[in-house]
Structure formats: C-alpha cells, structure tokens
Amino acid sequence: MKRNELTQIKGLDLKELREKVKLIKKEIADITLDKNMKKLKDLKAVSKRRKDLAQVLTVLQQKTILAELEPKVEEKKK
C-alpha cells in the first residue's frame, strides 16, 4: 500500500474501515486460491495484501480506542 493510500484510509470512518477489512480479506482468499491453482505469477501478493490488512486493522484499532477515550477526556474537563 502506498503512502497516499494509507493517508486516505486514515481519513475513513469506522464503518468504511470495516468494509475495507472485509474486502481485503476476500482478496486474500481469492489470491490464495489462485496461488494454490498455480495461476498466480506474483507469489508475494498474499504477503503484500496481509500487510495491507494489518495496516488497515491498525488504523481501525486506533480510531476505536480514540472514540472510546474522547468522551472520558471531555468529562474530566467539565
């Protein structure tokens, strides 16, 4: 995943991130199937998509934690 794609992913909301995770998991399954059927030319494609998945899951986790902590910080300020 390129840097500008990662920046775009960081701008998505939680629902869109969850959809992106589902899409990437489906792509990994398809790539794995192609690899097992010897149709895949790029053997590193699976590991590349797993890395992309990890990056999206990291952003999703960060946003989830941030959403949980924001109300607590606002309560302390009041």
5 in any annotated domain: no
Written as one letter, the residue type at 12 is L
Helices (H), the chain: 3-10, 14-36, 45-77
Long-range contacts of residues 29-36, Cβ cutoff 8 Å, at least 24 apart: none
pTM for the complete prediction?
A: 0.86
Question: Which residue bears the tokens 């790029």?
Answer: 42
Domain that holds residue 60: 12-77
Chain center to CA of 42: 21
Domain assignment present for residue 20? The answer is: yes
The 10s digit of each residue's pLDDT in 22-62 is 999 999 999 999 999 999 888 899 999 999 999 999 999 99
Neighbours of 63 (CB within 10 A): 15
**Does 4 fall in a domain?**
no
- Whether residue 55 is contained in a domain is answered as yes
On whether residue 1 sits in a domain, the answer given is no
The residue whose two tokens read 């995770």 is: 21
- Number of domains making up the chain: 1
Whether residue 7 is contained in a domain is answered as: no
Tokens of 48: 């590349």
Which pLDDT band holds residue 72 (cuts at 50, 70, 90)?
Answer: confident
